[in-house]
Amino acid sequence: MKLDHLTFNQTSVSISNFGGKTDKDMAGIPTTITNSSVPSLCPVTTLQVYINRTKTSRDKISGQPIFLYLNNKQTEPLGSQRISKVMTLTLQEAGIDDTTARSFRKTGASTAINKGADPDFVMKLGRWRSVDVFFKHYVDWDQADMTNAILGE
C-alpha cells in the first residue's frame, strides 16, 4: 500500500486496495475507517501520526509505501510475508504453537459474522469471491447464536 492510496478527511480515512483477487480491473476497492470517539484509541489519528513520524525513512524508499520495516541495517516496505512471519513468531513466543498468521483470516470472519456483521461487507473486506467458499471454509457459526436466530429467541 502506498500513501496515494489514502484519503483523509475530518471523520475518517479511505483506503483504496488495488490488485486483489476481486479487483480484476485494478480500479481499487475502497475501505473506510472512521475516527474513534476516544482520541487515544483512534486508528485514523494513529495512522496520521505514524505517517508523519516515518516520513524521513519513507522518503528514502521509492514508491512511498505506507508501512515500513525498520531495523539498524535496512528500511524497506513492510510486506505481507514479513507481517506473517512476525505474527507467527509472536504467537510461538506466547506459547501458541498451533496457530499461524493465516488463522486470523478465519477467526476474523467468524467473529464478524457471529457478532452480526453484514456478510457482504465481510466478504468484500476479506476479498472472498465465492459465497459458498466463504461460508463453508471461513465461517464457524456460534451454535447458540444460530439456534437462537432460528427459534427467534
| Residue-wise pLDDT tens digits, 66-90 | 989 877 778 888 888 888 888 888 8
pLDDT at position 25 is 64
Cβ atoms of 14 and 6 closer than 8 Å: yes
DSSP state, residue 145: H
pLDDT at position 12 is 93
pLDDT for residue 153 is more than 80:
no
Give pLDDT tens digits for 109-125: 888 888 888 888 888 88
State the Cα–Cα distance between residues 112 and 139, nearest whole angstrom: 9
User: Of 25, 6, 23, 2, which is closest to residue 14 (Cα–Cα)?
Assistant: 6
pTM of the model: 0.58
The answer for residues whose C-beta is within 8 angstroms of residue 138's C-beta and 6 or more apart is 105, 106, 109, 110, 126, 128
pLDDT for residue 141 is more than 90:
no
pLDDT for residue 11 is more than 60:
yes
State the Cα–Cα distance between residues 78 and 70, nearest whole angstrom: 9
State the Cα–Cα distance between residues 1 and 138, nearest whole angstrom: 25
Q: Grid coordinates representing 59?
A: 522518503
Which residues are registered as beta bridge partners of 15? 6, 31
How confident is the model over 44-66, as a mean pLDDT? 90
Beta strands in the chain (DSSP E): 6-8, 12-17, 29-34, 68-70, 75-77
Task: Output the CA torsion 2→110→83→130 (10° steps).
Answer: -60
Which one has a higher pLDDT value, 26 or 7? 7
Q: How many residues does the chain have?
A: 153
Across the chain, what does the average pLDDT equal?
Answer: 82
